[in-house]
Amino acid sequence: MLINFTLENWRSFRNPATFSMVASREKQHGERLARVERYKLRLLPVAAIYGGNASGKTNFFAALNFARNLIVRGTRPDELIPVETFRLDGESGQKATCFSFELLVGETIYEYGFAVNQERVVEERLVEVRPTTEKELFVRNLDEVRFAPALDKDRFLHFAFKGTRENQLFLTNAVQQKVETFKPVYDWFKENLVLIAPDTRFEPFEQFLQEGSPLYATMNKYLGLLDTGIAQLGGEDVSFDNLPLPEEMRSQLQSSLKEGMTLRLMSPFHERYVFTRKDGEIVARKLVTYHETSGGDLAKFEMGQESDGSKRVIDLLPAFLEMSSRESTQIYVIDEVDRSLHTLLTRQLLEGYLEACSPENRSQLLLTTHDVLLMDQDLLRRDEMWIAERDQEGGSSLLSFSEYKDVRNDKDIRKSYLQGRLGGVPRLLISGALANSDLEVSEREAAVGEA
């Protein structure tokens, strides 16, 4: 589980901004909080980030995505680190960008952080946090490293660090060199942290094509309950040679798809394919939907014929089903969760997930949204609602509603937010002037034309 995340000098976040999933002292909806007895912590299952356009919500999502990619995928030799610093002053470009995570992995808390610029990793640190003390596993400063005494005796660790490039995280290289000591932290980023952008397609949709898979049956059940008009999903075999794919994409598939491998792909026309190679030939199946006709038969639809809302439900529903599982340890971060969705549908998905949460659950949902109808204390606690706000100098900050002294649990928080009392709303300077100005310009242009 994610406990705390701090970022500094990343895009609009010039100053240090800390985002916390640790519950405050309030008692509202306490029955669904995850309890970590070893550390006497209560962790939140959900956090919603609100804010005006360009307030920093998507930059927060991008920061998590950048950190995950740098850790999991790493960098190539001589490649610049694609870090993006705050650009609205003359100093931030010369400073390193910093990220720090506090994670619950199993029943152990780790703190992992790093500071980078485009050329190199400046600092890196991994700490095991114990209930009363901390144990530094390693601390890196430029080209030097300090290990915990028990690890310092491991000559292979020193060898692995010497082989770590300047533009590479030691955590990444150590795991690639089969160092098991740090692998649980690496695996948390690789396996547990799942980011879904507004245009992201949920990856394992090939399970929708398998009639015997649990996800196939569950998806078909809930798609009907969510008023999508879809009776069921299905798969259709298609000829690879006749697929309307760009030639570059076709060539890449032919060269990269090995025997027995499976690849997922969405075409430029929003069709979703699963490719496998059997006996040297590429076999393709396409995801399709079926709607019930007035006569009770099923009519096939292409994915490109479905509404944006239906496609968004197909993309998001598996994530909500996974999080609602008692065994789940996934942390989903969804940018613009309400995109193309009716507000009641978004709320229904969120309510379904929260009803499944309990002190034993280890899944979490972080989302950004403009949907103020979700800003309801019957649904979310105050410490589960956050505001991203941009100041006059272009810098973003994050603030939880629980930090506002006048936000009581019986207060109409939505009304206060829309009135601008809590920040995080657009500062709109245009009223009726825009329409009147356009009208005046049009009249002047017409007069000139007649003359």
> Domain map of the chain by residue range?
1-198+335-431, 205-310
Instruction: Provide the 10 A C-beta neighbour count for residue 222.
Output: 18
Whether the Cβ atoms of residue 330 and residue 195 lie closer than 8 Å to each other: no
Report pLDDT for 210. 66
Report pLDDT for 194. 94
Give every residue of the chain whose pLDDT is below 50, as ranges. Answer: 439
Burial 299-323 (b: 16+ CB within 10 A, else e): eeeebeebeebbbbbbbbbbbbbbb
Report pLDDT for 443. 55
Report pLDDT for 44. 98
Considering only CA atoms, which of 112, 97, 116, 126 is closest in space to residue 167? Answer: 116
Considering only CA atoms, which of 191, 195, 204 is closest in space to residue 263? Answer: 204
What 3-state DSSP class applies to 375?
Answer: coil
How much is the mean pLDDT over the chain?
A: 89
Question: What proportions of the chain, in percent to the nearest 5, are helix, strand and coil?
Answer: 35, 25, 40
Report pLDDT for 435. 56
Could you say which DSSP state residue 87 is in?
-
Whether the Cβ atoms of residue 293 and residue 211 lie closer than 8 Å to each other: no
Could you say which DSSP state residue 14 is in?
-
Separation of alpha carbons 116 and 99, rounded Å: 9
Separation of alpha carbons 195 and 199, rounded Å: 11
On whether the pTM is more than 0.85, the answer is yes
Return the CATH fold of 1-198+335-431.
Rossmann fold (3.40.50)
